[in-house]
Amino acid sequence: MGVKAFGGADCIITSAGIDWLTLTSTNQDTKEEMQQCFRRASVAASQLGYETKPGGAWGFYGLRAEHALYGEKADRSMLVVSNEAAKQCVVLARKGDNATRLDVQITLRVGEQNVSKFLEHQFRCAAAGGERRGSPKPPKAVVTPDAYQTVYVGSRKSDIFIRCYDKFVESGDEAYRGCVRLEAEYKGKASQALWTHLAENNVGVMFLLQFLLQTLAAKGLDVDMVDLDRQDHIALKRQRHRDEVTVGWLGTQVAKAVQRVSRTRGWWVAFTAVFNECCNEEDKCAILHSLALQWGD
């Protein structure tokens, strides 16, 4: 894991990678992969009790899950993913697709006593860096009477907007107590250039993290405590085959409906509805006979 010091305490990388992606495409292969990505996010959300519902944005209409949206408009499809659902999306990079927003983050555990000090340090570094460059827009900080909570560098309307913040305060998740997040939001030409570079050069998350550190340093922030060579949070998990995703979807989305129909009208009604298109009459009769012998008519 990445370990360097700040204020006498080790800085440990607890999370890193893509945190948001807005992607549109007319490529059929990309569309299929976007759908797979959405289904994974939908299944993960359903396991936590979140429903997948109809939804849309920017004229695209489809389905919305917790931290994910998939929609279509004419011949173009759009995928919006954030949080954990976005971390593996680097594998979607394909030349010709349009990434309109790409957020990259590194989260460091600096210790609860150092969070405010760390953010104040970054604010002062960014302010000094802006003065050296003659930047017209100084950094902004959200400060309570007791502590620094967030530092903003740049404009929300610009192609690059930087946020540094207390991840525990932002999320309320105990796992992030004592953690700060360094994050850059790339949009427009910046996000498209990054996405195209990923596709053309077959590079991945490590390149994005290195680019993030370069972006932060160019804006005057101090990133000397971040050690990318000693961290284990960017390894992609095994990509599940489409059939695995489908089986997971059947288990979470279809099984409950089958159970409900089976209780009220009998399991053979649900079976016929599900398998009617993939079995001929002989197959259905043989399967139903076997099930009847096993479970009773």
The full set of domain ranges for the chain reads 3-27+94-230, 242-295
Average pLDDT over residues 105-121: 96
pLDDT band at 239 (very low <50, low <70, confident <90, very high): very low
> Which is higher by pLDDT, 275 or 119?
119
pLDDT band at 177 (very low <50, low <70, confident <90, very high): very high
Average pLDDT over residues 279-295: 68
Q: Which of 88-92, 121-125, 205-209, 253-257 has the lowest mean pLDDT?
A: 253-257
Residue 286 scores a pLDDT above 60: yes
Residue 258 scores a pLDDT above 80: no
pLDDT band at 268 (very low <50, low <70, confident <90, very high): low
* Secondary structure in 3-state letters for the chain: CCEEEECCEEEEEEEEEEEEEEEEECCHHHHHHHHHHHHHHHHHHHHCCCCCEEEEECCEEEEEECCEEEEEECCEEEEEEEHHHHCCHHHHCCCCCEEEEEEEEEEEECCHHHHHHHHHHHHHHHHHHHHHHCCCCCCEEEECCCCEEEEEECCCCCCEEEEEEEHHHHHCCHHHCCEEEEEEEEEHHHHHHHHHHHHHHCCCHHHHHHHHHHHHHHCCCCCCCCCHHHCCCCCCCCCCCHHHHHHHHHHHHHHHHHHHHHHHHCHHHHHHHHHCCCCCHHHHHHHHHHHHHHHCC
